[in-house]
Chain A
């Protein structure tokens, strides 16, 4: 396949993807064809000198659409693959003109990592971003604020951040994140309260429907008292302190061995 053919294919993909009545299956097929075609030219070579800027840009555009396409089809694994491939285009080919999509996609990736609770990967990815973008880019700032609120426990802010997403694609991850947060809040509540009125539990957990609350309470094994409309949590007092016998034996043997070496 010649470069011209690939270009036409890419154009077709772009048109299809950006049209309001976008057919995701068709995009998927186009992407597949394009990826095979790109392999034949200079796709992901480690030697940038031989690849022309045009080819590289083409490959980058296709990958960017691929990443967005993965989110629309709700395929996280595929999204991560595209992002991993894009990294080399963003970092290693510094002579390419910067992509308008770059930070939006990086931000998406950050939120994606957060939604899977991969905090350490999140921070590693964060280090790669230039300081000025770190401060000024709305997508990046959004991800950073989100992480801060999560770490602090300001879940309210996470919830309200749903309204101010930089792009529609973020909602997909935020919704996953909400599930994680509910479980976080629930586990915090179990420790912090002895009992909680069901209605208040609903507000804390961002539920509006009583049925949802009851289901959730069941899932988490809360004792619900229907008369009082209250949920009771296990108190931590019945947890007994156990003596870690095996560990102590191991330590004692370790001391004995090392002391013996000294004497």
Chain B
């Protein structure tokens, strides 16, 4: 897994810890931006400086939000949302207090409420460049953004009940406002709203709210909120194992095409799970593969990667494929996948006792991952592989020996099982009932069948789809840029650079909570 070196340097505090607990929450560890850190002079002064920097950053975000509203350009809001991750790490009560004070010119009910959550007011002694650089416009976007910041902070402080109150109020605010420029922030608000309820195990209560919000978002063609809400609803149903309802939701909604990558990855994962339960393994496999590929590849999303890969392994096994060994060696996945490795090995050699052992040994883990029933289905695959191995090694073998080799109950059972394997096309053989043996047929020339043609078709279709998708995903510069001056081009390039950097960091807040069982 390629990991940006800069990032690993930052995480040097304990990559191992991160691996175990992939939640980016870590409220104590004040992460420091390498570039932003001045040479160590004095702890207190440094802290103060950092604080001022954070406040300045957030204020910069206000400007961006205002610009976004003024120009009807969602890009700026997207940037603010992206940097939420880095802002989140630095949030403290004093920072929030000064942010609130910086935005609201005078105190009113809202500020009162926010200060109550933050637990302190902005001290006047704080050194702030209070000079109003930008005109103090009252923008609901900024207001909601501040609320969002406080919500995130409450979450990190584990003050869940207060978070529920505030998020509830914010959701109401968002619904009343109905502004298109608010969509992206609204999606985030819903996300944390659901997160609070999930952590307090009250998810069933908000299903109604989410459903109606989803309906509204669909009508308004609000892609961000829509995709977030669909995923939240699916997660909600999965929490209570209501796969039937989840399936109905999926069949009744269309997932927006321009949804962000992270949301798409999640949706694919959920879809894969539904399909796996419904025994549609081929489709499930495709969805899961997409989920794994679309998910950002860094240590922060380890939780999601682990969950998706676990399911992917099982589905592959159920389809009769054996996952590649290298998958289990990846540093992010190695530890979490150990139980699954044992199951895979058992299936690979077709050893029923080994499979049963692994199953009982890791039963608790599988239950926690909600994969237990899926793994139970594998028993039948173990037997299939066993029979295939026997058929390959012996040209003629008595049913009695088959029975002993596969640890079956009786010879009659062995006969039925072998007969079924023959019918299902697992092996090519015949049974001689009177003499009680199974005879394998000679290998048929696979190139005389339609098999190779199908295999080629699959690959060609995949390549063509890849090409088409990449064409769709490309960004083209607008015509205005072509004719613009050098400076403007420079600015655009600068923006692009920033974008790339932010995309690299993006994602962990979206992927939050995937570490635990779904």
Residues in chain A within 8 A of chain B (CB atoms): 91, 119-120, 123-124, 126-128, 131, 134, 144, 148, 151-157, 184-185, 187-194, 196-197, 200, 204, 241, 243-244, 248, 251, 254-255, 258-259, 261-262
Contact = CB atoms under 8 A, between A and B. Distances in A.
Given A154-B413, A251-B457, A119 B279 contact: yes
B416 A193 contact: no
A148 B433 contact: no
Contact of A192 (B280, B410, B430): B430
A156 B416 contact: yes
Contact of B412 (A127, A156, A194): A156
Most buried by A among B380, B415, B416, B421: B416
Q: Which 8 A-B pairs have the closest CB atoms?
A: A153-B420, A188-B419, A192-B419, A120-B278, A258-B464, A191-B423, A153-B417, A188-B423
B279 A120 contact: yes
Interface stretch (B17-25, B237-245, B257-265, B487-495): B237-245
Given A124-B244, A127-B373, A134-B373, A152 B433 contact: no
Most buried by B among A91, A152, A192, A204: A192
B442 interface: no
Interface of B: 240-244, 247, 277-280, 367, 370, 372-373, 376-377, 379-380, 383, 408-410, 412-413, 415-423, 429-434, 448-450, 453, 457, 460-461, 464, 467-468
Given A134-B373, A192-B423, A241-B448, A124 B430 contact: no
Nearest to B412: A156
A152 B278 contact: no
B305 to A, nearest CB: 23
B421 A153 contact: yes
B416 A185 contact: yes
A188 B450 contact: no
A262 B467 contact: yes
A126 B3 CA distance: 40
Contacts of A134: 372-373
Nearest to B383: A152
B356 to A, nearest CB: 12
A197 B412 contact: no
Given A127-B241, A185-B419, A255-B460, 7 more contacts: A152-B420, A184-B420, A188-B420, A192-B422, A197-B434, A200-B433, A241-B450
Contact of A196 (B433, B453, B464): B433
Nearest to B417: A153
20 contacts: A119-B279, A123-B277, A148-B376, A153-B416, A154-B408, A154-B413, A155-B416, A156-B412, A191-B419, A192-B429, A192-B431, A193-B419, A193-B430, A193-B432, A241-B448, A248-B453, A255-B464, A258-B467, A258-B468, A262-B467
Contacts of B418: 192
Contact of A128 (B242, B279, B408, B419): B242
Given A185-B416, A189-B419, A197-B434, A124 B457 contact: no
Contacts of A188: 416, 419-420, 422-423
Contacts of B434: 197, 200
Nearest to A190: B423
A154 B421 contact: no
Nearest to B279: A120
B464 A152 contact: no
Contacts of B372: 131, 134
Contact of A156 (B376, B413, B461): B413
B139 to A, nearest CB: 39
Nearest to A155: B416
A191 B377 CA distance: 25
Contacts of A248: 453
B433 A154 contact: no
B376 A144 contact: yes
Contacts of A191: 419, 422-423
A144 B372 CA distance: 13
Contacts of A152: 379-380, 383, 417, 420
B416 A131 contact: no
Contacts of B422: 188, 191-192
Contacts of A190: 423
A131 B467 contact: no
A244 B450 contact: yes
A120 B275 CA distance: 9
Contacts of B243: 124, 127-128
A258 B466 CA distance: 11
B417 to A, nearest CB: 4
Nearest to B364: A131
A146 to B, nearest CB: 13
Nearest to B247: A124
Contact of B380 (A91, A148, A197): A148
B411 to A, nearest CB: 10
A227 to B, nearest CB: 17
Contacts of A124: 243-244, 247, 277-278
Nearest to A152: B380
A132 to B, nearest CB: 10
A184 B240 CA distance: 36
Contact of B449 (A192, A204, A241, A254): A241
B413 A194 contact: no
B71 to A, nearest CB: 35
A126 B431 contact: no
A244 B450 CA distance: 8
A154 B373 CA distance: 20
B279 A151 contact: no
A123 B373 contact: yes
Nearest to B368: A131
Given A185-B416, A188-B423, A194 B430 contact: yes
Contacts of B413: 154, 156-157
Contacts of A144: 376
A243 B430 CA distance: 26
B377 A151 contact: yes
Given A192-B423, A255-B460, A123 B379 contact: no
Contacts of A156: 409-410, 412-413, 416
A126 B244 CA distance: 11
B304 to A, nearest CB: 21
A194 B419 CA distance: 12
Nearest to A251: B457
A123 B416 contact: no
A76 B431 CA distance: 38
Contacts of B429: 192
B59 to A, nearest CB: 46
A128 B448 contact: no
A153 B433 contact: no
A190 B431 CA distance: 11
A123 B279 contact: yes
